[in-house]
Amino acid sequence: MIRRGAFVLMCIASAALSPRSVVAQGEILERGNQLYQEGDYEGAVDAYEIVLASGHESADLHYNLGNAYFKGGQLGRSILAWERALDRAPGDPDIRANLDLARSLTADAVEPLPRFWLISAWSWWFRLVPRGLLIVFVSTAWLAVTLGVTTRILTRSERSGRVGGWLAVSGLGVLLVFGTSLIVQEFRIGQPDRGVVLARAVSVRSAPADDDDLMLFEVHEGTIVRVDQRAGEWSEVVLEDGKVGWVPADVLGMI
């Protein structure tokens, strides 16, 4: 199933672009949706990727792209697209369901290590509210603070002054809470770099060198890894079960 509301938020976010550009990208998106419905998943992927390359993106667009990749048999790229969608809409049940299905089809049975509860709580809180809603909350709170301070300063009525003060304090509280969440999401503070294996099979080595004697184990398409460091054309990755090694950087799609 695809979503047709993907372009609405992108148009809002791209208000600085010319109307002609927005209309053109909307037509490409609709063409991608039509190709998907007709079973031309490769054509749908091409259309969605063109829209993404133009600078437009949203959770729905990444969701549709993941669906097209999955239908076209590209498991790794479908997981990558859905992970990117989940980053933009953390609470979306359809995205999570698709990811659960796709990850159950991967060849690597990786058992995640238990996480410290404080880290889990941090991750849960800062991924609780989607980015779009955070922007709405922060913008509304900023307006409330501005209006409250202005009312407090300019009004001669004691009652209006109290209302203005209450409005400013309430808005400031909301601004601090949700503004912090927005900053954390935007700049990925405390969030490690993660990638998805896109190749069918990749040898993980103990050092960044193309030497079969250094091979430790293999990972396969769709496996999610944490990227700790890079050395030239190599990336050091950590699996969810704690295994560590080096892979060529070009086999990963970064989330």
Residue 12 has pLDDT above 50, yes or no: no
Domain boundary residue among 155, 187, 219? 187
Residue 199 is part of a domain; what is its CATH number? 2.30.30.40
* Reported confidence tier of residue 30, pLDDT bands at 50, 70, 90: very high
d(CA 255, CA 84): 6
Q: Looking at the domain assignment, is residue 222 inside a domain?
A: yes
Question: 48-57, 71-80, 198-207: which range is least confident on average?
Answer: 48-57
Same domain, 84 and 133: no
Domain boundary residue among 157, 187, 217? 187
Same domain, 93 and 133: no
Which of 109, 110, 52, 111 lies closest to 77 in space, CA to CA? 52
What is the percentage of the chain residues whose pLDDT exceeds 70?
90
Type of residue numbered 232: G
Q: Check if the beta carbon of residue 241 is closer than 8 Å to that of residue 217.
A: no
Type of residue numbered 142: W
Residue 79 is part of a domain; what is its CATH number? 1.25.40.10
The runs of H, that is alpha helices, within 105-231 are 117-126, 131-154, 158-187
Predicted pLDDT at 78? 98
Residue 19 has pLDDT above 60, yes or no: no
Taking the model in full, what pTM does it have?
0.76
Mean pLDDT, the chain, integer: 89
Domain containing 94: what range?
6-104
Q: pLDDT by residue (tens digit) across 167-197?
A: 999 999 999 999 998 888 777 776 789 999 9
Residue 6 has pLDDT above 70, yes or no: no
Residue 14 has pLDDT above 70, yes or no: no
Q: Looking at the domain assignment, is residue 115 inside a domain?
A: no
Q: Which residue has the higher pLDDT, 104 or 26?
A: 104
Same domain, 80 and 46: yes
User: Hey, what are 206's tokens?
Assistant: 């103990």
Number of domains within the chain:
3
Q: pLDDT by residue (tens digit) across 210-247?
A: 999 999 999 999 999 999 999 999 999 999 999 999 99
